[in-house]
Structure 1
Amino acid sequence: MIERLERRVTGPILLGLALLLFVLLAGCERDPQSYRLEGPIFGTGFHITFYGDYDDEKLADIEQSVKDALHDVDRLMSTYKPDSELSRFNQAEVGQPFELSPQTAEVVREAIRVGDISDGAFDVTVGAAVNLWGFGPDKHPDRVPDDDQIAEALKEVDYKALELDGNTLTKTKPVYVDLSGIAKGYGVDAVARALDALGVDRYLVEVGGEIRTRGDKPGGQPWRIAVEKPVSNERSVQRIIELDDSAVATSGDYRNYFESDGKRYSHTIDPRTGRPITHHLVSVTVITSDCMTADALATAIDVLGPDAGYTMAERENLAVYLVVKTPEGFETRVSTAFQSYLEDSETEDRS
């Protein structure tokens, strides 16, 4: 639910992203003007910067359209609202056909596709295992579950139990669907479509670190996105990339984890094992044409790890940037499709 939506004309802007990305916005001109919308949504926040020359009536239309787009996604796909469409599906009986809205069906359809191409590394029914480890909405003191508890949770993890026929979704066994790994990106896309429909053609939309851009900034300057260095005790830049009409999402485990008996447990749960990932891939950034897909792919590759994730990126021709922890520091692996996004002028910190 959106509690407050701010609108103001800004000068130079710096958007600090809540998760793994932040945007470096250079100084902007008076004509066209720079506008910013921001507010809370999806348990995080959104920030939108756009350029143009709009009167108060047009700005009010833009503000309301953004608000409506985000609210609709929250109303349909929230697991925190008991009357949301997704919550009502989760409460439905096994085998009972449930008619989804076209929006939710689109997200579920893409979630199933990404699950298939990632060999189950992306699974929107993983919630039981996530909750077991204390990283879901049912948070509990940090604890390590035993093998029997993990095996029991895995009985409820199986995206293949979801059968989607058109907009009708049926579950063939008890599973709980949580779209948080893809719906946030879809929310970014929904805002982008709302802006497009109103003729706004130079913007950056960010929700909880997931980003989509269109057009350029004044002077023909591209949107410059900074991939954050994957360390938990500071915020610094690993690499700058330039975008025009693209979406970008990043996934990583370097800020959300717990430690028990000297061992670190990632918040990223492999739905195939019911356990936290243990490989050394600490950050993955994915660029696609839409943010919904980027969001899901970033999670899938984060689960797969550096080797299988890179193999998937090359097989599917995905633009992927991996940061891997080594004894010497960090090394990067860049898919073939990502090469064109790298700035030759930017030096990369591998320390």
Structure 2
Amino acid sequence: MRPALFLFALLMPLLLLAGCRQQGEWYIFEGVALGSGYHITLNGDLGPGESALVEAAIQGELASLDNDIQLLQHLLATGWPIVLGPPGAQVPDDLLQLYRARAVDHLARVLGEFGVEHALVELGGVQRTLGRAGRHPWRVRLPRTGLASAPDAALRLEGAALVTRSAARPADADGQEWERILAVSAVAQSAEAADHLARELLASPLETAMEQPARVVVLTPRGITLHIGAGLEPLLER
């Protein structure tokens, strides 16, 4: 056997084993922020004591955003500015959801500063993935729809975010329901971009969502129907 082929034959088992290995150790960070729980799973090679630094950076970033919400709540409680609502009003859910999307993107940036390339960040239903979960994309579950005939669905995401927005319930007109969008789950590269897309599709005709990476839940006179946009089809777990 020629020397080059002999050396290749010796190295091949090692190369195969290296390809099967995970990127590093698994780490999990959990807690509460912005009125909801957060869960971060990452896979990487953190040096001695670096795990504690990552956790401290995560908590510091979330504390800063929590302070923003508390300041806004204080302004609402004092009735200033009036355009935000009457004295004692709560922070609107729509704004809180936007802050959660922003927080998830901030956390993804923090992890990147520590060299983390593979992670799943979830806060209040907002989810964003970095890299892969081992040799496969991250498995992210879509929110349940309440339809008994519709099985739970999941997406395979790599470097993308999933955000779900629900429409405000309008007042019934003479007790009659009409066809309308109930919720939109949208995918984009960042959580804020996915949140923006979901809000946009909530106010758009259903046909607009059919070309997007989104799932739309629609209420019709015959019941609830699900619609999958063309951009979401390739991401669905089979």
Q: TM-score, normalised by structure 1?
A: 0.51
**Partner of 1:198 in structure 2?**
114
Is the 1:181–1:299 Cα contact (8 Å) retained in structure 2? no
Corresponding residue of 2:162: 248
* Equivalent residue letter for 1:321: R
User: How far does residue 328 in structure 1 lie from its aligned partner after superposition?
Assistant: 6.4
2:232 paired residue among 326, 338, 342: 338
2:67 is paired with a residue whose SS is helix
Distance in 2 of aligned mates of 1:327 and 1:179 = 31
Partner SS, residue 91 of structure 1: coil
Matched, 1:319 2:213: yes
- Alpha-carbon distance in 2 for matches of 1:249, 1:320: 10
The gaps in structure 2 that reach 5 residues or longer are: 1-20, 171-176
Residue type at the aligned position of 1:334: I
Kept in 2, the 8 Å contact 1:79–1:178? The answer is no
Q: CA offset at residue 324 of structure 1?
A: 2.8
Q: 8 Å contact 1:39–1:46 — kept in the other structure?
A: yes
Cα-Cα RMSD: 3.8
Residue 74 (structure 1) shift: 1.9
Task: Confirm whether residue 38 of structure 1 aligns to residue 30 of structure 2.
Answer: yes
Task: Name the % identity.
Answer: 25
- Does 2:181 match 1:287? no
The Cα shift of 1:69 comes to 1.3
Q: Which amino acid aligns with 1:225?
A: V
Give the 3-state SS of the residue equivalent to 1:336 in structure 2: coil
Select the structure of larger CA radius of gyration: 2
Measured after TM superposition, the shift of residue 287 of structure 1 is: 0.3
Judge conservation of contact 1:288–1:318 (CA < 8 Å) in 2. Answer: no
Higher RCO (Cα < 8 Å, 6 or more apart): 1
What is the deviation of 1:237?
4.7
Q: Map Cα deviations across residues 181-216 of structure 1 (whole Å, 9 max, x no partner).
A: 311100100100100111011100000000000111
Distance 1:185 1:33, change over 3 A: same
- One-letter identity of the residue aligned with 1:51: N
Does 2:142 correspond to 1:223? no
CA distance in 2, matches of 1:72, 1:92: 22
| CA displacement at 1:269 relative to structure 2 | 5.0
Alignment CA distance shift 1:91-1:326 (3 Å) = closer
Contact 2:141 2:155 in 1 (8 A): yes
Q: State the partner residue of 1:137.
A: 90
2:206 corresponding residue in structure 1: 310
Instruction: Say which structure is richer in helix.
Output: 2
**What's the counterpart of residue 198 of structure 2?**
298
Q: Does the 8 Å CA contact 1:226/1:237 hold for their aligned counterparts?
A: no
Looking at structure 2, the residues matched to 309 and 322 of structure 1 have their Cα atoms a distance apart, in angstroms, of 11
CA distance in 2, matches of 1:309, 1:70: 36
Q: Report the 3-state secondary structure (helix = DSSP H, G, I; strand = E; otherwise coil) of the residue aligned with 2:218.
A: strand
Alignment of 1:48 with 2:40, yes or no, is yes
